[in-house]
Amino acid sequence: MPTGVAMRDARRQLFEAAERVLLRDGPNALTSRAVTTEAGCAKGVLHRHFADFDAFLAELVRDRIGRIDARTIALRGAAGTGTVTANLTGALIDLFESVGVAIVGLLIFRDELRARLRQTTPAGIPILTEGAAMIASYLTEERALGRIAADADVDTLALTLIGAAHLLFAGREGAPPETGAVDRVVATVMADVVQRRLL
């Protein structure tokens, strides 16, 4: 990008560029130079908006967490509609299918980034922790509606679903798992707590 030409919504463009690099080349390739090259701008643009590269990455993760917060509202609104399994399957695919798994890999790869995010996610791994909270919140709604057992441990179920889904999606070089594979895992995890007609 020529000097003196302002980028529209520079933060958003930089985040999108970082996600493309992360998805295409992995966490090892994610550098400030790679991001600004992908965004088509001077390296100084990133440093004009963020104190350093780890600050940029922390904001990238917080942006993804904000999207999970929005998904939580939509998923809770789906309680009582459709089937529990279909609702959970859709939420897990949405969480992990695109850049979610790649960001988890980035968090595991960069100690400094995890340390910075401890302010907002004091325990667990960001994205996974918020994803588990999203699922637990939805299951709490379904439990209140009587669609899952009154004694269902929603927190343990949420952790189990997040862990199982992450394993399905992680480390794949090609296409993500088929919806049916995610659906089978969800149905198996939920089998003892969901009425059969509501699976």
On the question of pLDDT at 105 being above 90, the answer is no
Domain count, the chain: 2
Is there a contact between 45 and 10 (Cβ–Cβ < 8 Å)?
A: yes
CATH of the domain at 38: 1.10.10
55 within domain boundaries? no
| Same domain membership, residue 183 and residue 113 | yes
What residues does 148 pair with on adjacent strands?
Answer: 194
Q: What was the pLDDT predicted at 114?
A: 85
Q: The pTM is what?
A: 0.85
131 within domain boundaries? yes
**Three-state secondary structure call for residue 167:** helix
What does pLDDT average to over the chain? 88
Q: What is the domain range of residue 21? A: 7-49
Q: What was the pLDDT predicted at 175?
A: 77
Joined tokens for residue 27: 């966490």
Residue 98: count of CB within 10 angstroms of its CB: 14
CATH of the domain at 174: 1.10.357
Q: What was the pLDDT predicted at 23?
A: 85
| Same domain membership, residue 133 and residue 39 | no
Q: What was the pLDDT predicted at 25?
A: 87
Q: How far apart are CA 45 and CA 21, in angstroms?
A: 17
Residue 100: count of CB within 10 angstroms of its CB: 22
| Same domain membership, residue 75 and residue 155 | yes
**Which pLDDT band holds residue 82 (cuts at 50, 70, 90)?**
very high
**Which pLDDT band holds residue 4 (cuts at 50, 70, 90)?**
very low
Measured over the CA atoms of residue 72, residue 78, residue 83 and residue 84, the dihedral's sign is positive
Q: How far apart are CA 191 and CA 47, in angstroms?
A: 50
| Same domain membership, residue 123 and residue 35 | no
